[in-house]
Amino acid sequence: MSDEELLIKYHEYKRKRMIIISIIVLFFILIAGLILYFHFNNTSSTELEEKPKEEVIVKDEEAPIIKLKIEELELTKGDDINYIDYVESVIDKVDGNLIDELKYEEIDTSIVGEQSIVYSVNDKSGNTSQAILKVIVKEKEEPENQENIPENNSTENRQTPPKVESNQKNNTTNTTPKEEPKQTQPVQEPSKNDNNSGKIVKYFLFSDGYTMMNVADACASELKKTNRTGMCSPIQDENGIYLGMKLETN
């Protein structure tokens, strides 16, 4: 074989070897690239999956918030209480609405004075919150009874007056006892001790149309007309029932 043929074969061999080497190098480069790609891709995925887990594990250290509608409540002795009516909301940042978990200390409304309703709630993490509602229990107000007015008068005014029938007998008129309650003018009767002294005695009876609302004014007005000193006092029958008022001048 000539030198020329050997040289040609050498160049062909060298070319094939370079191609093979290039293919091998490219193959390793491709393999290395795939390895690096999957490595970094798996690392990023792992980090993204771990982050949410860290957020879930965060501990809840914030207590719920109890919000009341009012700060102070006034009640009458013996009143009933619906404790939840005075609570506006019970909210926890993590657990949400905890109104159904709310607890409270009941009070005794039969005791007059200042008391406190203590509301409390726990969330699932064990955080506790409290709110206090101040309660003032007052005595029941007794209704004003006009029949108690005579109690404020002197003992002299509480003397039991003569019965209406006896008053009618002392009148100079011929009116019978049954007709006396029907008259529209106040009954006038001279005092038993009236010996031309000018003493005036008049009766303002409920049977004549007077009421608890106007009998005192009518008696006072009549006393003013006499231009004398005197007094208006309530009158009762033997059973303690008020019949009206009596005007007596000095």
d(CA 119, CA 107) in angstroms, rounded, equals 12
Overall pTM > 0.75: no
CB 194 within 8 A of CB 233: no
- Fold of the 65-138 domain: Immunoglobulin-like (2.60.40)
Could you please report the per-residue DSSP string of 223-247?
A: HHHHTS-EEEEEEE-TTS-EEEEEE
pLDDT of 38 reads 85
d(CA 205, CA 184) in angstroms, rounded, equals 10
CB 246 within 8 A of CB 232: yes
pLDDT of 110 reads 92
pLDDT of 228 reads 87
> For 99-183, where are the alpha helices, taking DSSP H only?
164-170
pLDDT of 2 reads 77
d(CA 181, CA 176) in angstroms, rounded, equals 10
CB 205 within 8 A of CB 131: no
Give the domain ranges of the chain: 1-58, 65-138, 146-249
Query: Each residue's pLDDT tens digit in the chain (250 positions)?
Result: 677 778 888 888 888 889 999 899 999 999 988 898 888 877 766 665 655 555 556 788 899 999 999 999 999 999 999 999 999 999 999 999 999 999 999 999 999 999 999 999 999 988 999 999 999 999 987 765 544 444 444 334 444 444 444 343 333 333 333 333 333 444 444 434 443 457 889 999 999 889 988 988 999 899 888 888 888 989 988 888 889 999 988 8
pLDDT of 49 reads 61
pLDDT of 51 reads 57
